[in-house]
Structure 1
């Protein structure tokens, strides 16, 4: 009996426990079915929307919009202008406000997004936008999703409906090009960009307008035809540029240009020299960047930029150009009106480039060459023997824009006898040594003196007399005394044939072979023929070395190497290896060159020119049967070279030009 009761009590307990457990389960199920789903994490929603803002891919991300605008399409339209500059936008969640829960189960928070658009090297447009998020409550038994409140200001602060963003480059003020003493040579000057504005004249008059404009600008046939062709090919509302002229250029009739239907003059500024011709082969020009220039700049230059196209302008473009400014603007393309600025980075002006050119001397040299009226290439170069500074480097009208002064390569003829004389001095001759000056001499080939050589200076004469009258045969007669290497070294001691490592610009100083091909080649070297070449700059450097009493290395750009005694290491070693010029040697050369002025071949040409310390005339057989004529001179500390490609004699062609120039300082 007792055992049976015990089993009944145990069963009862099990039943009670089961009932309790079933009741608890029922309560749990009921709670689960009736619970309110939790609010989704705000951080996840903010991050997802930030990714969408960065990529433009909104997918299934929910937004609240007041219109039917598609977020992805708006993203593409608004940022199209920016993405032409960069695709590397960065968007991150900077902060979020605490979630605010409402009694009706909804909630809100605000996310702040930090944007960064890298628009140029080291320059970015950084800003923040705020996006309001709203949680509308659960969707049935699911939690639901946060939704971003959509407006144009999601993309940029205060952006309005319909507006598009764009990036504009703001041109930097170009650095000046300065001359000796800091005098301004190139600076921003007022100009007109002249061209055909097809929108200002009816279609049937486009051809006439282009031809009339070409006539007013004095274009040649090729330039006229090019303008007509470009006008025809351009769009119906295009502006076709013809030329850029100075505001006060007296060579153009501005009133006539303005009065021509369809011709437009757009005022602006360009970095220009005092005149269109001032040192143009050296300074070069500026112009709108070409596709090739843009590509080579690796992003520094953009379409529409004004850049250096040639000369100093091109070689130092990065220094002169400065850093363009940037503007981010917003504008509704359908509403018209002006764009409004959202952000800007100021342009940084370019740094100046300082040259050693003396403005007055350069102008004088150019005027002398114009007045001389030579039809072939010509040049005047003046170099300071103390500093090496190039004071003037003018190329005449016959050079047709080529930099004959610094890049021309011609046999120097008898002006090279200054180097030959130095070689002779180093091999035992003195100004009073007796040398033979026959009418002709044969060393591998026959050598003669120039027509009109004075009979009184023939025969056995002092070396100073042979030098003064430029006796070819006396020089050639020393071919056994002075080896070819010594001629090469003597020229190098005068700066001829060295690399122009301090010049700071394109230049050529000459070439004097150290080894002769044969006896005749060696003999011809003494009189600046055979394979000897020099530029007017090179021969002016020879004269400057004599003037300064030391080996001169020319300098044109002051901050490219300095205009003092310091040389580039490689050039100094090269000059030392060949033997630098001593003051005593220079004094003897000045003495010899003085005789050229007082009694020799330059006496008539330089008569009445004050302060001339020495000179040397020269002529050489040039290409095409031309006679290249030269004269070099020393006046104080300055060495000068005058060159004319096709002349008669150094004394009669180059001499008068030298005289006129030396009178200018």
Structure 2
């Protein structure tokens, strides 16, 4: 191509380009300005937007003030179809706010004006919210629905609204008195930290009511209204709040309810705000969204300086509602927990100082009737989360594995005083009867819990067979119907030497919770693996919440036996059969009729079958021991555990007898 041709083409391109510029009606520039405006509002920062009739900094300050009540939320703002008329343009702005679980959508119209080569936004408050005028801001109020109850067996209310009194200092009623002096006297009266409460009262505003403690307003209340009112400024304000029947009732399992703290609010993703009531720990936290429901949210436009007094004095509310989401009531959480069984278990454990637990369930259905953790557990859910060596209760698993190798309760085994495996000496429990040594039936070795007889079977019963037999009894198997966090047991499939020998007597790396021990016993009574059930409507939980996940195994407990246990199996490898269960039940009955649980012979009702267990732990000499006993009694399976309890028969046994006798 020649030089003249190149110049000609360049001139043509220049002419065409000039024609396009000449035909530009300004739409492209207006659309760019509109999109920049939408993006700036979405970020709640219009400090770089060019406005007509308003300084950008002033406009940004007003925007911040209008939307302050909605922090930390930000709107998603998108532009619609721009309409152009010479040097002016209008464009719809579509707002979308996330308000809790709802969306607040609205549209406004932005006006743009061309100034030279630029497009300016015409500032007006209605650009932010429809019909908003200068001097107005948005406010946000929430109204929480009443929290739903937690129900027990037969829909008996476990946690429901009960009367309380908030005891504190009302600084408006001090009448010139010394707030520190009153706070100190009240703190001493109700038993709270005096220095901390005095500091709270002193730091609070002149019109504040500062709560020292919330007390149940029932017969358990020992601080009287007269004692409180005798202190200047002290008041007891009646209220109600979700509470269990007593302060300790299933506390570790159910959790508690109170005002959300800063950490809970931060983690809630906007679901919780200051003043909201929420669950802490246990089922209250796990099913918080289900129980809480959703708040009513009201967003109003009002004068920035409007006072509460002016609102009350006005005949008609001067505020304008711009968005209103109705509340959704919470859904009651239905459980299988039996109030009388739970209360009985807690009363029996009331004086036990070490960590302890009683779990009772119905083998026929798997329904958990009681899951009590004693005061020595210090608020921990030992009943369902504890991880402890089960000791000789695990001989139920050994025996099932031995049955599958051809043995019966009448098969002969050798019970020796001691047995040495790879240099480690194992012995029977102190006081083992001499007349049960030597060649005895498996039933007799089980009834008297001969350690050496069961360890002697280690060569014919592999660790893998133990694992399989454990799952056959419902141990270390997922519990899809439980609906609560629990440790379901752990039985490693591989172990050699002394570790395998220790496994035969429920030590080594074998771990159970009181719940899994009750499941093991219950599976014998049922003649099939028991799958425990506690929460009946877990499927009603809000999708994506903690409760919508099926909990199976929990983190390690603070006990000395805690370990990083593997997850439970999906199902039993080979479910226990009726015939196998009958043979095990025969041997469990022998523990009562001829073994060292004879104290259960006079329990009224159906014959009791049991198995005791004592598991050594720690490095002391003599070592400390966990005390266990499990039992079946008709359609009832019970596990009793005491963390530092001597022998299972002598420590946990009497607690079990008391429970079975009273439970009927």
- The TM-score with structure 1 as length reference comes to 0.76
SS in 2 for 1:575: coil
Distance 1:216 1:432 in 2: 67
Preserved CA contact (<8 Å) 1:413 1:619: yes
In structure 2, the residue matched to 1:246 is: 216
Q: How far apart, in 1, do the equivalents of 2:128 and 2:267 lie?
A: 34
Whether contact under 8 Å (1:380, 1:641) holds in the other structure is yes
Q: What is the match of residue 581 of structure 2?
A: 586
> Would the alpha carbon gap of residues 379 and 60 (structure 1) be closer, same or farther in structure 2, given more than 3 Å must change?
closer
1:513 maps to what in 2? 492
- Who is 1:575 aligned against? 571
1:304 CA drift (Å): 2.3
- 1:414-455 CA-to-partner distances (Å, cap 9, x unmatched) read 111111111111112111112222222323422222222223
Indicate the residue corresponding to 2:533 in structure 1: 555
Partners of 1:242 and 1:91 lie apart in 2 by 50
Name whichever of 175-184 and 203-212 sits farther off: 203-212
What do residues 168-194 of structure 1 show as CA deviations (whole Å, max 9, x unaligned)?
Answer: 111133232222233322223343333
Q: Could you tell me whether the CA contact under 8 Å between 2:593 and 2:601 is conserved in 1? A: no
Q: How does 1:429-444 map to 2 (within 5 A)?
A: 429-443=407-421, 444=423
| 2:192 is the counterpart of 1:196 | no
Structure-to-structure mapping, 1:137-286, within 5 angstroms: 164-201=137-174, 205-219=178-192, 223-248=193-218, 250-255=220-225, 256-286=227-257
Contact 1:384 1:637 in 2 (8 A): yes
| Unpaired runs of at least 5, structure 2 | 1-29, 84-89, 111-121, 312-317, 541-549, 553-565
| Structure 1 unaligned residues grouped into runs of 5+ | 1-43, 64-69, 97-110, 132-147
Shift of 1:235: 4.5
Answer yes or no: is 1:598 the counterpart of 2:571: no
Q: Considering only CA atoms, is the larger Rg found in Structure 1 or Structure 2?
A: 1
Matched, 1:529 2:524: no
For 1:13-52, what per-residue CA distance to the aligned partner results, in whole angstroms no more than 9, with x for missing partners?
A: xxxxxxxxxxxxxxxxxxxxxxxxxxxxxxx9xx99xx89
SS of residue matched to 1:478: helix
Q: Give the secondary-structure state (helix, strand or coil) at the position aligned to 1:604.
A: helix
Superposed CA offset, 1:187-239 (max 9, x none): 233433333344443787333333323322233xxx44433344444455544
Q: Answer with 208-217 or 353-362: which moved more.
A: 208-217
Tell me which residue corresponds to 1:99: none
TM-align CA RMSD: 4.3
Cα separation, 2, equivalents of 1:83 and 1:526: 63
Preserved contact between residue 413 and residue 529 of structure 1 (Cα < 8 Å): yes
Partner residue, 2:641: 643
The match for 1:355 among 301, 319, 335 is 335
1:398 positional shift: 1.5
In structure 2, which of residues 600, 612, 617 is the aligned counterpart of residue 622 of structure 1?
617
**Which residues in structure 2 correspond to 1:471-486 (within 5 Å)?**
471-486=450-465
Structure 2 contact 359–638 (Cα < 8 Å) conserved? yes
Equivalent-residue separation in structure 2 for 1:311 and 1:539 (angstroms) = 21
1:220-269, CA deviations, whole angstroms, 9 ceiling, x for partnerless residues? xxx44433344444455544433333333623424133443233444444
Q: Which residue in the other structure is 1:449 paired with?
A: 428
**Contact 1:612–1:633 (8 Å) recurs in 2:** no
Aligned partners of 1:438 and 1:458 also within 8 Å: yes
Range that drifts further, 395-404 or 205-214: 205-214
Q: How does 1:479-494 map to 2 (within 5 A)?
A: 479-494=458-473
Q: Scaled by the length of structure 2, what TM-score is found?
A: 0.76
Q: Which residue of 1 aligns with 2:476?
A: 497
Deviates more, 1:539-548 or 1:236-245: 236-245
Q: 1:294 and 2:273 equivalent?
A: no
Tell me, yes or no, if the aligned pair for 1:499 and 1:508 is still in contact at 8 Å. Answer: no
Q: Give 1:494 shift.
A: 1.2
1:278-427 correspondence to structure 2 within 5 Å = 278-329=249-300, 332=303, 336=307, 337=309, 338=311, 340=319, 342=321, 343-370=323-350, 373-427=351-405
How far 1:402 sits from its partner (Å)? 1.0
The whole-number CA distance in structure 1 between the counterparts of 2:169 and 2:337 is 38
* Matched length: 586
Cα distance in 2 for partners of 1:640, 1:118 equals 53
In structure 1, how many angstroms separate the alpha carbons of the residues matched to 2:551 and 2:330?
A: 27
User: Using the alignment, how far apart are the partners of 2:426 and 2:80 within structure 1?
Assistant: 89
In structure 2, distance between residues paired with 1:571 and 1:385: 23
Shift of 1:351: 2.0
Give 1:123 shift: 3.4
Distance 1:514-1:122 versus aligned 2 partners, 3 A rule: closer
5 Å matches for 1:16-55? none
**1-side partners of 2:435 and 2:211: how far apart?**
66
Shift of 1:590: 0.7
Quickly say closer, same or farther: Cα 1:629–1:571, change in 2 above 3 A.
closer
Of 62, 79, 88, which residue of structure 1 is paired with 2:75? 88
Change (3 A) 1:130 1:212: same
The 8 Å contact of residues 613 and 647 in structure 2, kept in 1 or not, is answered as yes
* Match in the other structure for 1:660: 658
CA distance in 2, matches of 1:453, 1:655: 17
Q: Distance in 2 between matches of 1:298 and 1:619?
A: 47
1:631–1:433 CA distance, 2 compared to 1 (3 A): same
Which of 502, 505, 516 is matched with 1:538 structurally? 516
**Structure-2 change in CA distance of 1:511 and 1:247 (3 Å):** same
Matched, 1:79 2:49: no
1:58-105 superposed Cα distances (whole Å, 9 cap, x missing partner): 987579xxxxxx9959955872444436442869999x9xxxxxxxxx
SS at structure 2 position matched to 1:453: coil
Structure 1 residue 546: Cα displacement: 0.8
